[in-house]
């Protein structure tokens, strides 16, 4: 069975959704370790709920970027992680880590890439961009992580979130989040089937 590693900065509702599906057997995987760049992030509580180890590892604990990347890497390796999932990780992932985990690191983006992605395009800014462009539909993209923001090959996409005239960035974020939870679990299953070799 494959082991999942997570990187998250916030409340961790995507981590929660994925670990729930692991527990009920919908995904053939289990949680290995959760890393957050914030000591007080809600995702640590999610980790406790599911009895998965969680660690606070942040760039400012290290004198160099390489030492930071090495600690992230060794934490995943020591916890026998096969696949890393970025789930609302709001910091730049060190390029060294991305290279080491090529093909084994996924990110979720709350819009239909290649639209509304790239540097600085995160959180409510994504939904603001969707509204400003007058898009009638939005959704979710799960893609492999490479060194360009939101540009890696797409593994799974789920549209169909209709944008209403009354929507605000906040209401859109809420609607998209529900789809994120469904889509991320499907993407993980797809990765296991196609790429895990297990
Ligand atoms: C999600 O909207 C995700 O797409 C974005 O950050 C949010 C994380 O939410 N990048 P959560 O911490 O999983 O609840």
Supply the residues annotated as catalytic: 109
80-115 burial string, b = 16+ CB within 10 Å, else e? ebbbbbbbbbeeebbeebbebbeebbbbbbbbbbee
Distance CA 141, CA 108 (A): 6
Q: pTM of the prediction?
A: 0.96
pLDDT confidence band for 29 (50 / 70 / 90): very high
Q: What is the mean pLDDT of residues 171-191?
A: 97
Mutation probe of ligand 1 site: the residue of 40, 85, 86, 88 with most atoms within 8 A of C-beta: 88
Nearest CA to ligand 1 atom 10: 88
Nearest CA to ligand 1 atom 7: 88
Nearest CA to ligand 1 atom 12: 12
Indicate which atom in ligand 1 lies nearest the CA of residue 87: 13
Q: Assess whether pLDDT exceeds 90 at residue 197.
A: no
pLDDT tens per residue across span 47-92: 999 999 999 999 999 999 999 999 999 999 999 999 999 999 999 9
Residue 156, CB-side half-sphere exposure with 13 Å CA sphere: 20
Q: What's residue 9's pLDDT?
A: 97
14 C-alpha vs ligand 1 centroid, how far in Å? 7
80 C-alpha vs ligand 1 centroid, how far in Å? 25
List all residues whose CB is within 6 A of at least one atom of ligand 1: 8, 10-14, 87-88, 108, 110, 122, 177, 180
Nearest CA to ligand 1 atom 1: 88
Indicate which atom in ligand 1 lies nearest the CA of residue 13: 14
Domains of the chain (ranges; CATH) run 1-101 (3.40.50.170), 108-180+187-198 (3.40.50.170)
């Amino acid at each position: 069975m494959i082991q999942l590693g997570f990187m998250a900065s916030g409340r961790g509702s995507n981590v929660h959704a994925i670990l729930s599906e692991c527990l009920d057997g919908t995904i053939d995987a289990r949680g290995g370790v959760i890393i957050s760049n914030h000591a007080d992030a809600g995702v640590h509580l999610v980790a406790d709920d599911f009895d998965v180890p969680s660690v606070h590892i942040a760039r400012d604990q290290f004198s160099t970027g390489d030492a930071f990347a090495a600690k992230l890497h060794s934490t995943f390796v020591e916890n026998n992680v096969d696949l890393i999932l970025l789930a609302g990780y709001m910091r730049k992932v060190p390029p060294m880590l991305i290279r080491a985990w090529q093909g084994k690191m996924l990110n979720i983006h709350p819009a239909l890439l290649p639209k509304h992605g790239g540097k600085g395009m995160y959180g409510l800014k994504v939904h603001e961009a969707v509204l400003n462009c007058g898009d009638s539909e939005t959704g979710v993209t799960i893609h492999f992580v490479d060194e360009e923001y939101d540009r890696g090959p797409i593994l799974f996409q789920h549209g169909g979130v209709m944008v209403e005239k009354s929507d605000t960035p906040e209401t859109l974020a809420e609607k998209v989040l529900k789809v994120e939870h469904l889509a991320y679990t499907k993407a993980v299953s797809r990765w296991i089937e196609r790429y895990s070799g297990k």
